Structure formats: structure tokens, C-alpha cells
Amino acid sequence: MTPLYQWAASLAERGMLPSDFQYPFLIRGFLCVLVLAPILGGLSHLVVTRRMAFFSAALGQAALTGVAIGLLLGEPLNAPYGGMFGFCLLTTLAMVYVKRHATLPPDTLIGVFHALTLGLGLCLLVALTRQFNVHQVESVLFGSLLTVTDADLLLLLAVGVLVAVLLVREYNKLLLDSLSPPLSSVSGADSAFLEYFFAVLLTLSIVVSLKVIGALLVEALVVVPAAAARNIAGSARSYLVWSVVIAFLAGAGGLGVSTKLLVPTGGAVVLAVSAIFFVTLAAGALLKRRSRVSR
Amino acid sequence: MVPSGVTPPLIEFIDVSIARQREHLLSRVSLTVAQGAVHVIVGPNGAGKTTLLTAALGLIPFEGRILAHWRGDGRIGYVPQAFAVDPSLPVTVEDFLALTRQRRPVCFGVSRAARARIASLLRDVGLDGLEHRPLSVLSGGELRRVLLANALDPLPELLVLDEPASGLDEGGVGQLEDLVRTLKGSGCTVLMVSHDLEQVRRLADRVTVLDRVVVTEGPAAETLARHDVAALLPSGRRQ
């Protein structure tokens, strides 16, 4: 990756890129945003359509517990992926299984898992303070570009490609299943498979995003881009395009703000995406009023 | 009219029972849907009509057996009774119909071939020009026509219609009945739930009166004449 950083730095020196691009960590962050925007933006419009916003929040909390488990089991502080992947995957499969087999409303069941994983995570974090300064895991909670390594970026890229390929393959079935599970089943799709499949894709994407966005804030980037896109989109195509564009603008904007103001990247990204949501809300209302007047 | 016992069966329900939270929704229901027939199920609210259809579609667990004797590809077209659309969902009629008509993800656009097929389907159900209308702004009747268009292509071997006329205006009902007759002429079997007894008289070959058990079953005119079916139906629907 060093030649890429040197090339970007030389462009920054010649004024062809913003001066901040002379720092490798910032180039890495920008590349992360480039990969994250299509993954999380693309997933977000299905997350909102399938009503899995709360599910995503619970997964973020589970990742926090996963970090604690990974560190307690001896994983390195800057890459506790085994604990995160393992615990998040276990939580995801358990949540989907219980949701499919219990008669309670899904949000109630997810609420139970949300509380359970958070409680467990807090207890484990207290245990962790005997080994680490708790501020060392802050980057996982709130996201930090300084701790993102080349290996993290490559993992993000590999998972991003995998998720994109699988999502494109099953997209139509997933959307039909979100609109009407009975119609989807009658057309030959396996509703149970689709539910587990999408939940696992979401888990993978959330886990690899954590070092940039943070466990407590990742939910925002898998929900708000699609929510904002809904305010202005008029078709499935524009819904996807806007979700990705908004995720990218929020990522790039948040990155810039966090570098300038020295605030956590995750927080800055979430503030940026929330600001975009309110702008699209106003734009959507304006568009609706205009179309009513023209009719 | 398709006489029972002469035409081979397409679907056989044998002692089908369904219970939910210890309450029996259906109890030992046995009936035969003949190939190429229009078979209508009538009964009061809560009689288990929709439950029986969803069991036939394999959407819910049941006791007993449901046998299908497919002659062709076994394709099923289905128009559900309820189809709630999220009011903020930006999915157009064309997007929705393209979901099962192209491999390319609809978020990457609708293919030219699918677009032409969808335009023709919408013409068939009297909705030409509505391709780019979001699903969420359609009226109840328009939405049912879109669901009907979805169920008709490719031509199904079994068409399952759950109160397909609800929400349709007079013209829509006539168009629906013409479509059902055309489909029957093409060899398609229609299994349908209806509350409209006049419509049942016009369309059905056979009628099953259901009230958690099979009350009576037989050729349409005979069954409707022999039993006071109207007494079983909600007062607003008796005709």
C-alpha cells in the first residue's frame, strides 16, 4: 500500500488533492469510505425495507461484547475480529431463529437480545479493565481512523466484494420477500433461507465497519442513508443510488470533520448523515408540494 | 361444468386440520379440486377459507395431506387477500412486476424485455400507463389488478385467488371474470375464495361451503340452490 500513499501524498503536495491526503491514515480512511458507502448504503435500503433497524442496533451492541470476548481470549487489541465475528454471528443466528419460532413481536424479542448482549458486554468490559486501559477499546465503541490498518482495509474490501456479489445474486428475491413473504414463497423462494442469509450479510458488513464507524454508531449508517433516500427517491433504482450517494457523502464529510475538529470518526459520520436526512426531508416535502401544484 | 369423478384431480385435501393456540381453524377438511375447474370456497368470516388456501400453498403447517397432481410445471399464481404497502416505499409497479421477470436486480434498472412484458400484462388488467406509479399510491382496486397481473404470467397451472374482487369497481369485476374464463379456457385450474354469491354463480364449476369443516360441496348451481349459503355469509355480502 505504501506506493499508493506516496503517490497520493505527491498529488497532495502538487495541490491536486487536499493537503490532508499527505497522511496515509487519511487516505486509508477515504478508501474505507469508498468501500463502505456501497456496502452499507446498498444494505441499508434493504434493512429499512425489511424493518431491521432495531436488529442492526442489537448487532452493534453484540459487536461490543464480541470485542470484549476476543480480548479476554487473547486476541490483539487492534484486531479482535474472531470474537466480534463469532459472537455477532451467534447472536444473529439466535435472533433470527427465535424470531421465526416465537409468537412474540420481533421488536420485543430483539429487545431481549439487545439487553442481554449489552449487559454481558458491560460486565466483560469491567473484567477487561484489569488487563487494558478501557480507553484502548474506545476506538471500537466510537470508531477511529488512527487505528485502521492496511489489513483492516483489505478485510473490508474482501468482505465488501463478497457481500456485494451475494447481494446482487439474491436482490430480487430479498426485495419480494420484504414486500410479501407469501408471494415470495409461492414464486419459489425460501423465506427462511433469505432471512438468515440477509442477517449474516448484515453481520459481516457491520463487523468489518466497526473500526471506522464504531459499535455504538454503526446502526446509523445501515439505517439513515436509506431513510434519507426514501424522502427523495421515486423508484427502486433511485432508492439504491441515493442510499449509496448519501452513505458516501456522510462518510467523506464525517471523515473531513473528524480530521479537522479531532472528534471521533463515527460521531462525525453519524452527525453528517443525520444532517443529510433532514435536508432530504425538506427536499422531499418541497418536491411533493411542487408535483401537487403542477397537477 | 366439470363433473366430479370424471375430470382427474389437480389438488386433493385429505383430512386437513389446522390449529392455532389450541383453537381449531380447520377440522378434517377433505375436498378435491378438479383439473381445469373453477372451484370456489365460500363461507362466513373466520370459516378458515384463507387458512385453507395458505395451507395449499405450503405457507403454514397442517395435519393431514394435500396432494398435487401436476400435469405441467406446477406453477402457481397467487393473489393474496391482504397486501400492505409501506407508504414511503419507492418501488414502482414496474419494479414490483420485474422482480420475478428478470435476473438482473431491479435496483440496477428494468430490462427491455421485462419492460415490454410488463406493459402487456398491465394492458391485460386495464392498467396501461401505470408502470412508473409507486405501489404505495395505488388504490386498493389498482393494487389487486397489479397482483392479478403478477399471478397471470407465466400462465399458471393453478391460480389461487383470495377474494380477488374486493376493492374492484364494476368494470374491474367484469374484467376479472373475463380473465378467469379465459384462463379456464387455457386449461388453468382456479381455486378461489369469494363472498359474492352472484359472482360464484357466474364463474364456479364447483363450490365448497366451508365453516371450519366442509358443510357441503358439489356442482355450483346445485349446491347454491340446495343450501341457504347466503345465511352463512356476512349480511353485507349476501346477494
* Contact indicator for A230, A51 with CB cutoff of 8 Å: no
Chain-chain contact of A236 with B91 (C-beta, under 8 angstroms): yes
Among B76, B90, B160, select the one facing A236 at the smallest CB separation: B90
Helix (H, G, I), strand (E, B) or coil at B178: helix
DSSP string, A113-150: HHHHHHHHHHHHHHHHTTTS-GGGGHHHHH--GGG--H
Given the DSSP bridges, would you call strands B158-162 and B189-193 parallel, antiparallel or unpaired?
parallel
Among B76, B88, B105, select the one facing A230 at the smallest CB separation: B88
Mean pLDDT value across residues B146-163: 92
Given the DSSP bridges, would you call strands B189-193 and B214-219 parallel, antiparallel or unpaired?
unpaired
Q: Which residues 22-81 of A have a C-beta within 8 angstroms of B?
A: 45, 49
Q: What share of chain B is helix, strand, coil (3-state, %, to 5)?
A: 35, 25, 40
Distances (CA, A) of B132 to A73, A198, A235, B16: 55, 28, 8, 43
Q: Is A185 on the interface with B (CB under 8 A)?
A: yes
**List of chain A residues whose C-beta atoms are within 8 Å of the C-beta of residue B77:** 186
Give the pLDDT score at B41.
94
Q: What is the dihedral of CA B139, B183, B67, B221, to 10 degrees?
A: 90
- Model confidence at B236, in pLDDT bands (50, 70, 90)? very low
For each of the domains in chain B, give its residue range(s) and CATH number, in order of start: 1-75+155-238 (3.40.50.300), 84-154 (no CATH)
Mean pLDDT value across residues A205-226: 85
C-alpha span between B42 and B232 (Å, rounded): 9
What are the pLDDT digits (tens) for B8-34? 899 999 999 999 878 889 999 999 999
Looking at CA atoms only, how far is residue A236 from chain B in angstroms? 5
Work out whether the CA dihedral A291, A274, A55, A196 comes out positive or negative.
Answer: positive
Kindly provide the ipTM of the predicted complex, given to two decimals: 0.87
Mean pLDDT value across residues A145-160: 87
C-alpha span between A116 and A98 (Å, rounded): 14
Cell 360441496 -> residue: B217
**List of chain B residues whose C-beta atoms are within 8 Å of the C-beta of residue A179:** 85, 89, 91, 96, 135
- Picking from B100, B179, B95, the residue whose alpha carbon sits closest to that of residue B145 is B179
Chain-chain contact of A234 with B78 (C-beta, under 8 angstroms): no
CB pairs under 8 A between A and B: 81
Domain regions of chain A by residue span: 2-294
C-alpha span between A270 and A141 (Å, rounded): 13
C-alpha span between A240 and A56 (Å, rounded): 19
Give the pLDDT score at B67.
94
Average pLDDT along chain A: 88
Give the pLDDT score at B229.
67
Helix (H, G, I), strand (E, B) or coil at A192: helix
Average pLDDT along chain B: 88
C-alpha span between B31 and B12 (Å, rounded): 6
What are the pLDDT digits (tens) for A92-141? 999 999 999 888 888 899 999 999 998 998 888 888 877 777 666 677 77
- The string over A163-189, giving b where at least 16 C-beta atoms fall within 10 Å of a residue's C-beta and e elsewhere, is bbeebeebbbbbbbbbbbbbbbbbbeb
Searching chain B, which residue's CA lies closest to the CA of residue A243? B107
Q: Is the pLDDT of residue B239 over 50?
A: no
Work out whether the CA dihedral A266, A271, A277, A280 comes out positive or negative.
Answer: negative
CATH 3.90.1150.10 fits A2-294, yes or no: no
**List of chain B residues whose C-beta atoms are within 8 Å of the C-beta of residue A185:** 57-59
**List of chain B residues whose C-beta atoms are within 8 Å of the C-beta of residue A183:** 78, 80, 83, 147, 150
